A and B are shown apart, each in its own frame.
Chain A
């Protein structure tokens, strides 16, 4: 059993999705359904993925985030990612994606 907890907070045109648990092939389908429903139903101007409570992410999770990023670019939505712990963030670093995605620190998002 490898549960993932997802919750969304709505604030004007911004939707913030919090991830808690592990993102791999077993949990990506849940995450994809959750996030794509929000994109479709709420059409946010800005989507924030908060990875601070994510404990693990592998290439399945990476592909999911890149898919969300590709949709955001295509549909004109801003995507911001609150960096996760080192075990998670380093996957983006190794994959040379730190510059391609917009990572933000926690307080920037809280103050936005």
Chain B
């Protein structure tokens, strides 16, 4: 089962780059699932770059694993943590849209902070037909 692990610099150009990384999953996943992942990874990397207060030399670690049952994507950075979990009920606020979209496109997601590292992860359950 495919696994991807890349380190991206904390610069805006890593946003389109993170979407390109997903191309290696093209043979494994349906185009509609790839569309979901492109949007999710774009939102999470954007969030990291806009809100984590990183220097451009700080890495953002992106890991994706695909099993028969689950697609899991993790983004880890040395940022100052995560804004309080979003407000999907009030997406009209300035930064709410990105995480609102993430919450709509995933089955589970979460955030954790440990030893100065913040990890945000998402899971998508795969349908048997895929």
- Contact: B49 with A25, CB < 8 Å? yes
- The smallest beta-carbon distance between A33 and chain B, in angstroms, is 16
Known: A59-B43, A91-B39. A24 touches B101 (CB 8 A): no
- Contact: B97 with A62, CB < 8 Å? yes
Residues of A within 8 A of B101 (CB): 58-59, 91, 94-95
Considering the complex, give the chain A residue whose CB is closest to the CB of B50. Answer: A25
- Contact: B19 with A63, CB < 8 Å? no
User: Cβ of B91 < 8 Å from any Cβ of A?
Assistant: yes
User: Cβ of A14 < 8 Å from any Cβ of B?
Assistant: no
Residues of B within 8 A of A26 (CB): 12-13, 15-16
Known: A25-B12, A95-B91, A95-B101. A60 touches B19 (CB 8 A): no
User: Cβ of B104 < 8 Å from any Cβ of A?
Assistant: yes
Report how many residues on chain A are interfacial, defined by Cβ distance under 8 Å: 18
Known: A59-B97, A60-B46, A63-B97. A25 touches B39 (CB 8 A): no
User: Cβ of B38 < 8 Å from any Cβ of A?
Assistant: yes
Instruction: Report the bound CA distance from A90 to B105 in whole Å.
Output: 11
User: Cβ of B42 < 8 Å from any Cβ of A?
Assistant: yes
- The smallest beta-carbon distance between A70 and chain B, in angstroms, is 11
- The smallest beta-carbon distance between B43 and chain A, in angstroms, is 6
- Contact: A24 with B46, CB < 8 Å? yes
- The smallest beta-carbon distance between B37 and chain A, in angstroms, is 12
User: What are 20 A-B pairs at a CB distance below 8 A?
Assistant: A1-B13, A22-B16, A24-B16, A24-B46, A25-B12, A26-B12, A26-B13, A58-B42, A58-B101, A59-B46, A59-B101, A60-B46, A60-B98, A63-B97, A86-B35, A87-B35, A87-B38, A94-B101, A95-B91, A95-B100
State the A residues within 8 Å of B (CB): 1-2, 22, 24-26, 56, 58-60, 62-63, 86-87, 90-91, 94-95
- The 4 A-B residue pairs with the shortest CB-CB distance, nearest first, are A59-B97, A2-B16, A59-B98, A58-B42
